[in-house]
Amino acid sequence: MDKESIITRASDALVGFFSPRHALSRIAYRRGIRTLKAASTDRNTKSWKKNEAAPQDGFRTGGKTARQRAIFLAENHDAINGAITTITDHIVGTGINTDVEIQYSPNSRPGDTTAAATRDRLNQSVEDTKKRWLERAYDIGPMRLDPQEAETLRLRTLIIQGECFVHRIYTPDDTDRTVPLAYEVLDPSQLDGGYTASPVGRNIVEHGVEYDAFTNRIVAYHVTKGDYNLKTIRVPAADMIHTYRPDRPGQQRGITWLAPAIPRAYELEDIIEYAIIARKVQSAIALVVADNPNNLGPGAPIPGSVIPSDGATDVYTDPAGNKLRGINPGMIHHVGTGQVTSHTPAAPQDLDELTRIILRSIAIGMGISYEWLSGDYRQANFASLRLSENKTWKRIYTMHHFVTSKMKAPEHRDFIDLATAFRLIPPIPRRQDPYACSFSQPKRDWGANPLQEVNAITTAMGAGLTSLQEEAGKRGIDWRQLLRRINESREFAMMINPDLTLYDDLFTAAQTPPE
């Protein structure tokens, strides 16, 4: 029995003396772990760091370090920063707008124009009031953000640090706001520094999060305001929008989305840095001379020895006898016989292929294509690019749904509740869903080759695999407006030249929209 097993058994006995139930739980947990082949200690897993703690403890303790590394990469690594910017630009764009879809009367007929007009006026009134409120919804404290800036900041924080905190602040005395509610975006590090937090009763506080002593649920957050004493304020969980992606059951804190890419990103940094150093060394050394001390003549200094006349050393050492540690451009480097194997250090020849492998690994970890991450289209054709674009856009739409359901939907519900309570919007009919709405979708571009993309879409529409409404919706265009624009272009072309044979290729798919 090894030393670790003796300590573990002793700990079980000690825990069992005070709480038999907890001791049985510890034993059952370890026995369950041993049944997994991946948890066995063999030649493939002997270097793993064994952790007897519950997985949730690893999320709580390791999350802070992972967030710090992710922040460093997001600020200093060109590929990581570019990927995050690309993702946020495609998901947020010019802003995620809300399209209210509250029905006015459940008994109205589909062709009832009066009910439809009343419904449209109701929804338009709600949207106009919400837009006025959003103009100042994030204008509080040191941060003054418009809606697009707030959405981008929240999404970047979610990707980099794995979680985002938004504090609801009610402002009944602020008459300039349409609705007396403001949001303050917090950095997760404002919770990590809460060392002076005082929990309620027997609750525990870990990294600024207060957990109930009996249910282990989050009941409050202790937030620092950045002053010298690191004092904290206690924010109830009901006043905090805590957004994160749960990766396992029971998880209550977020893990950075960059976690799979962090090791590879650091490796890429090292490889590129060492390759640049090798190139500098190769360019700096102009000549390497291998000297034979026996052929330097009588009285010549032996390499490494000190010349008594001026206290200087030979070309190998400094006056203190230290070996040469640096080189200068164009220097002539003298070495002794057998001390050099090549005149100049050879720079790595497979650097480009190696960096592509690592960049592909980073792209997989971030859920985007290699081309989006690196901007390298040298080895791609239209078919491969379209496949990777579709795969990446599927990921973008999934992330967009996550953002709208976890971030935008709570914001919309808060507005509806307060606007209804203060009678700032028309009364919503009974038996109707007051929160019914949809959010604008990300706008797709036309890909690497717009002409081939259009041909592919036309073929898919002819085969019944897609529709004009669907393709126009992907690009944020109303399909009715698209047909009207095509028809207007055709009419304008007829005014310039009635001979439409010159424009047959341009307007082969033109149709007159229905009245």
Provide, rounded to the nearest whole percent, the portion of the chain with pLDDT above 70. Answer: 70
Kindly state the helix (H) or strand (E) to which residue 221 belongs, with its residue range: strand 218-224
Q: How far, CA to CA in Å, does 495 sit from each of 121, 490, 500, 503?
A: 39, 9, 10, 12
Residue 423 included in any domain: no
Compute the half-sphere exposure of residue 419: CA atoms within 13 Å on the CB side of its CA: 25
What pLDDT band is residue 87 in, cutting at 50, 70 and 90?
very high
pLDDT on residue 304: 44
Q: Are residues 13 and 65 in the same domain?
A: no
Q: Are 313 and 319 contacting, i.e. CB atoms less than 8 angstroms apart?
A: yes
Q: Is 500 or 371 the better-scoring residue by pLDDT?
A: 371
Q: Are residues 47 and 102 in the same domain?
A: no
When mean pLDDT is compared across 165-174, 251-260, 274-283, 288-297, the lowest value belongs to: 288-297
When mean pLDDT is compared across 10-24, 87-101, 296-310, the lowest value belongs to: 296-310
Q: Are residues 237 and 299 in the same domain?
A: no
Q: Are residues 104 and 233 in the same domain?
A: yes
- The vertex-159 CA angle with 146 and 413, nearest 5°, equals 50
Residue 197 included in any domain: yes
Q: Are residues 166 and 270 in the same domain?
A: no
Measured in degrees and rounded to the nearest 5, phi and psi for residue 236 equal -60, 150
Q: Are residues 254 and 171 in the same domain?
A: yes
Mean pLDDT for the stretch of residues 410-414: 94
Length reported for the chain: 515
Average confidence score pLDDT of the chain: 77
Domain total of the chain: 3
Q: Are residues 295 and 187 in the same domain?
A: no
- The vertex-63 CA angle with 60 and 66, nearest 5°, equals 165
Residue 491 included in any domain: no
- The vertex-366 CA angle with 363 and 371, nearest 5°, equals 30
Which string of DSSP letters, residue by residue, matches 23-46? HHHHHHHHHHHHT-GGGS-STTTT
Q: Are residues 224 and 267 in the same domain?
A: no
Strands 232-236 and 285-291 come out as unpaired
pLDDT on residue 126: 92
Residue 25 included in any domain: yes
Residue 134 included in any domain: yes
Sheet architecture: strand order including 240-244: 181-186, 163-170, 240-244
Residue 409 included in any domain: no
When mean pLDDT is compared across 59-73, 81-95, 128-142, the lowest value belongs to: 59-73
pLDDT digits 0-9 by tens, 138-161: 988 777 899 999 999 999 999 999
Compute the half-sphere exposure of residue 60: CA atoms within 13 Å on the CB side of its CA: 18
Q: Are residues 276 and 293 in the same domain?
A: yes
338: tokens are: 């057998």
**Hey, is 269 helix, strand or coil?**
helix
Helix axes 55-76, 262-284, angle to 10 degrees: 40
Contacts of 331 (CB under 8 A, 6+ apart): 284, 285, 286
Measured in degrees and rounded to the nearest 5, phi and psi for residue 100 equal -70, 140
Q: What is the pTM of this model?
A: 0.72
Q: Are residues 153 and 42 in the same domain?
A: no
Contacts of 242 (CB under 8 A, 6+ apart): 163, 164, 165, 218, 221
Q: Are residues 247 and 272 in the same domain?
A: no
pLDDT digits 0-9 by tens, 321-356: 555 555 566 565 566 555 555 555 555 567 778 888
Q: Tell whether the torsion through CA atoms of 155, 157, 158 and 163 is positive or negative.
A: negative
Q: Are residues 217 and 153 in the same domain?
A: yes
Which of 457, 458, 462, 460 shows the shortest CA–CA distance to 447? 457
Residue 448 included in any domain: no
* Terminal alpha carbon distance of the chain: 86
Host domain of residue 268: 262-351
d(CA 444, CA 448): 12
Where does a domain end: 243, 258, 273? 258
pLDDT on residue 63: 75
d(CA 116, CA 109): 9
Where does a domain end: 211, 234, 258? 258
Mean pLDDT for the stretch of residues 19-47: 61
Where does a domain end: 331, 351, 371? 351
pLDDT on residue 56: 59
Residue 426 included in any domain: no
Helix axes 78-92, 262-284, angle to 10 degrees: 140
